Structure 1
Amino acid sequence: MKEFGYDRAHDVQGAVALLGDDPEARFLGGGTNLVDLMKAGVERPTRLVDVRELPLGRIEFSPEDGLRIGATVTNSELAAHPEVRRHYPALAQAVLAGASGQLRNMATVGGNLLQRTRCGYFTDLTKPCNKRAPGSGCPAIEGEHHNHAVLGASEHCVATHPSDMAVALTALDAVVAYETADGPGELPLSDFYLPVGDTPHLETALPAGALITAVTLPATPVAATSRYRKVRERASYAFAIGSVAAALDVRGDVVRDVRLAFGAVASRPWRVTKAERLLTGSPVSAEAFAAAADAELAAARPLPHNRYKVTLMRNLVVAVLTELAEEATR
């Protein structure tokens, strides 16, 4: 492992100042992804700035303002919080679907958003990877890609984003708050992750040296009727091969409001905007849910070994929305 400096920050501006303008320095939260990448030689930071003692560990909720989650809140704390479970159940379910209990006890909300792909080529230094070494190529396209992207990919990268939590946050219109040396800023999560394009190594729109301080969710009534469904290759402690975060408001037999996001099908959580538009105001039926999913998935460009994801995501949308609709009529 490369030798690196270590500092423990005690206030937000101090943390930002410690990181400075060093592009090779990193903030350290729970370290559940960063430390693994350091051990593999993928990440080689010159300095780690430990942010775990910053005053960013609170969860606050109000019916008027919604939910504010501090960046150092652990995943376990978030999933167990009664107001999260009551008003944003899909978020609690998504967090519980990720990793193991031990990892959730360590992993932080800010770090979860910044975790990097689990593509095997990315973590194997003997292989080329445009995300790790820009311009070297993407061997997954011709190689192992059964769990890679079917939406929004490019000839430069077909990796997927691994976060479960970020999928639910995307569906629920979350906003990321951050701090820089020039002051605070905000980014809607829908704009937080950059499209792959020809620069897959550029993953987020965070300014250089920015520290995530919180994630906020609006007080949206539809969020209380929400669900996260994850499909994986084994029952626990596995990354998704496909997932859906959904929220549904039904009045009579008509969809009044709907929120949808896909996970494990793109380099970022995928907001399902076409399906949302088609479903809003439409009759409640499995046929309508399937047609909306098909409209969104028409843009899919699967590779030979991940074509199953298109059918999988269609079926997930129909199943989850049907369950939510049935609950609304009980």
Structure 2
Amino acid sequence: MELTNQTALSEFLLLGLTEDPALQPLVFSMFLSMYLVTILGNLLIILAVSSDSHLHTPMYFFLSILSLADICMGPTTIPKMLVNIQTQDQGISYTGCLFQVCFVLIFGGLENFLLAVMAYDRFVAICHPLRYTVIMNPCLCVLLLLLCLLLSIVRGLLHTLMLLQLSFCTDLEIPHFFCELSQVIKLTCSDTFINNILVYLVSIMFFGLPLSGIIFSYTQYVSSILRIPSVGGRYKAFSTCGSHLSVVSLFYGTGFGVYLSSAVTDSTIKNVVASMMYSVVPQMLNPVIYSLRNREMKGALRNLISGMPPL
């Protein structure tokens, strides 16, 4: 294959979910609906938390930041896909593709770290309730948020700068609806050994460690909950972390689904659908999970929508 230097590279081609013109309106409607639901649902979460003084706690502070990250995740990928379908143009510029890679990594990583921080918050609330307000003070919350942002930005920039060192072939078709890191690396004619090693190492560090922290936190406060003598007390304690556990299961479950799909099958459609489940579906369902499983959040949303002041 002929090499194309990145400085002379004009654009990549995003093939999307399907090339069948008859299915394009269905794909457009589906992604537009998911995008609007994601934006509206997460915006309602942020407004509900900010308008109800009872929710001005570390748990809901991090939840509102998680909703903000989910809002930011959608515009990095979906609007470009919708524009491409409408204009019948599959192109995305080289710069635009790198921006997609970078911001998907940043916001995906931010969600990952926030889930770990929220697990730590629940661990302190259940295992050290008397010291909760002392440990989870506003200063620590801000520092944890800044650390999450810093690590996410470092991860995104690291992979993006490594892509800048690569030269690409003339075959620049990406079998996806956005520029996913692994798909872009496959298009290069350069030696990608270092890039692939870096992907695995960073994934282990930036996802393995937070997931290990989440698992450790849950084992600790599950054991604490089981020591509560009353059934009602155990149920109330479990309910406080039920929403977070559901979101964690959805986020990491779809993430592992993408990994297993790419490792087990070479089917392009299956890989794209698996990636959609990771990059679109969790962001859309997170507000639904917290709205349905959290009594305080349901009350705040009800007051927000009805215009009633919080009690």
Q: Does 1 or 2 have the higher relative contact order (CA < 8 Å, sep 6+)?
A: 2
Give the TM-score of the pair, scaled to structure 2: 0.30
TM-score under structure 1 length normalisation:
0.28
Q: Which has the higher helix share?
A: 2
Which has the greater radius of gyration?
2
